[in-house]
Structure 1
Amino acid sequence: MKNTMAAASIMFFLLAGLAAAAHGSTEDDTTTTTNTIRLPSDGGTLAATRRTRPWKCCDNIEQLPVRTNPPQWRCNDELEPGQCFRQCEACRDPPGRPFPGRPLICDDVFWGDDPGTSCAPSSEWPWGPCCDFAICTKSIPPICHCSDEVESCAAACGQCEMVDSWSWRPLFVCRDSFTGEPGPRCTPEMHN
C-alpha cells in the first residue's frame, strides 16, 4: 500500500511539473526578465567546435575561458568575406563594428593543443630575423619579447628604446611583443 501511494504521489508531481512547463508561467513575458538558454533550433547561433584547425595561421589567437583539456581556441583575425567563408563554417562581424559586411572574423572554435603558427613571416618579427635573448611566456602559443641590445632597431619595431650601456655608442632594444616562437638565435650556440 505504501509503495503504491509513493508511486502515485511521485507520478502526480511529475505530471504537475510537465503541465506547468507546457502551459508556461502566468506572468506577462514583456515585464519579466529571464535568463533563457537559447538553442540553435530556437534561432540562436552556435560556433562550430572542430578538431582540425580551420585557419592555416593566425596572428590574433584567443584561448577561450572554458576549461577543457585540450584547450579551445578562436582566431580573431579579420578576413575578407570570401576567405572567411572558404575556411570556416561560421563567420561573424568583428565586435564594435558599426556597419556589417567587411571584414569578417571566423567564429569556428578549434579544440586542440596547438593553435598553429603566426601568419607573420619570420622577416616580420618586430626585432628582426633573429634574437639571442628572448623572454617568452609559457602559454601556447608563447608571447615573446627580445632583449637584444642592437645598434638600431628593425624597421618593423614599433617601440624602440635607447638603453643605458657600457658601450661607447648608443644601443637600443625593441620593446614590442610577438605571439609565437621568437625565431632563431643570432649567435650560434657553442657546444663543448
Structure 2
Amino acid sequence: MKSGMATTSILLFLLLAGLTAAAHRTADDDTNNNIRLPNYGAQAPEPARPWNCCDNIEMLPEKIFPPRWRCNDELEPSQCVAACKVCQEAPGPFPGPLICSDVYWGVDPGPFCTERPWGKCCDSAICTKSIPPICQCADEVDSCAAACKDCQPVESSEPPRYVCQDQFTGQPGPRCTPDEQN
C-alpha cells in the first residue's frame, strides 16, 4: 500500500514540476529549443555540378545514394583554376595538365563534352572492360551522324543501312529505344 502511495506522490510531483516549467517558458524558449524534423514531403535541391560537361566521369566507389562523382578530364591550368576549387596534377610527365578534384554528390553527373561519333544514343554498344571503356556502336542506321568519320554500308541491306565504325573512349551513352520490361 505504501509503495502505491509513493508512486502516486512521485507522479504527482513530476506533473506539477512540468506544469510549473511550462508556465515559466518565454517566447525565446520556443524558438531556440524546438526540435526540427525533416520535411518528408519536400526534396532538397541538388547542388550545382562543378563542371558543365565531362568526358571522363568517375563514380566514386562508396555504396551510397545519391552517388558521388568526380570528373577526371585533363584541363589547362587556367581552365582548372577558373572552374574548380581543388586542382591536382594529372599523372604523367611534369608539367602536365591538371584534373579537377571537386566531387559532385547527386544523381545526374551531367552531359559529355565530346559528341559520340554515332550520335546521342546507341542500342548495340560494344565496349572494352577498360576504365574508361572504349566503345563502338553497331547500330544499323539510315545515315551516319555528322561526327562519324568511318561510315560503312551494311552489305545486302535493303534499303541501304550504315554502321559507324568509329571508336569512342568513354560510356556509349543512353539507349535509343527504351528497354521493354513486362
Alignment TM-score, normalising by the size of structure 2: 0.51
Q: Which residue of 1 aligns with 2:123?
A: 134
Deviation, 1:179, is 3.6
Contact 1:118–1:180 (CA under 8 A) maintained in structure 2: no
Structure 1 unaligned segments of length 5 or more: list them.
1-49, 137-142, 186-192
Say whether 1:72 aligns with 2:68: yes
CA distance in structure 2 between the partners assigned to 1:60 and 1:151 by the alignment: 30
Equivalent residue pairs, number: 123
Q: Match of 1:167?
A: 158
Q: Which residue of 1 aligns with 2:41?
A: none
Give the conservation status (yes or no) of the 8 Å contact 2:151–2:162: yes
- Find the counterpart in structure 2 of residue 149 from structure 1: 140
Q: 2:83 aligns with which of 83, 87, 103?
A: 87
Q: Name stretches of at least 5 consecutive residues in structure 2 with no aligned partner.
A: 1-45, 126-133, 178-182
Shift of 1:115: 0.6
1:99 to 88, 94, 97: 94
Distance 2:85 2:93 in 1: 23
| One-letter identity of the residue aligned with 1:109 | V
* Contact 2:142 2:162 (C-alpha < 8 Å) held by counterparts: yes
Whether the 8 Å CA contact 1:162–1:172 is kept in 2: the answer is yes
CA distance in 1, matches of 2:107, 2:56: 17
Post-superposition shift, 1:68? 1.6
| Cα distance in 1, alignment partners of residues 65 and 75 from structure 2 | 28
Q: TM-score, normalised by structure 1?
A: 0.49
Name the aligned partner's letter for residue 104 of structure 2.
F
Query: How far off is 1:150 after superposition?
Result: 4.0
Residue 155 to residue 52, structure 1, CA distance change in 2 (3 Å): closer
Which of 39, 43, 59 lines up with 1:63 in the alignment?
59
SS in 2 for 1:65: coil
Q: Which amino acid aligns with 2:79?
A: Q
Q: 1:72 to 1:63 in 2, by over 3 A?
A: same
Q: CA 1:145 to 1:57, structure 2 compared with 1: closer, same or farther past 3 Å? A: same
Structure 1 residue 69, shift from structure 2 partner: 1.4
Paired-residue identity, %: 53
Pick closer, same or farther for the CA change 1:81–1:165 going to 2, 3 Å: same
| Counterpart-to-counterpart distance in 1, 2:159 and 2:64 | 53
Provide the alpha-carbon RMSD of the alignment. 3.7
- Asked whether the 8 Å contact 1:58–1:116 carries over to 2, the reply is yes
Deviations 1:67-120 (A, max 9, x none): 12111111011111111112211111112x1213x4211011111111111123
How big is each residue's C-alpha offset from its partner over 1:151-184, in whole Å with a ceiling of 9 and x where there is no partner?
Answer: 6644533665554443385x43125456475598
Query: For each residue in 1:136-157, what CA deviation from the matched residue of structure 2 results, as whole angstroms up to 9, or x when unmatched?
Result: 7xxxxxx986544246644533
The structure that has the greater radius of gyration is: 2
Q: Secondary structure at the match of 1:134?
A: coil
Partner of 1:113: 107
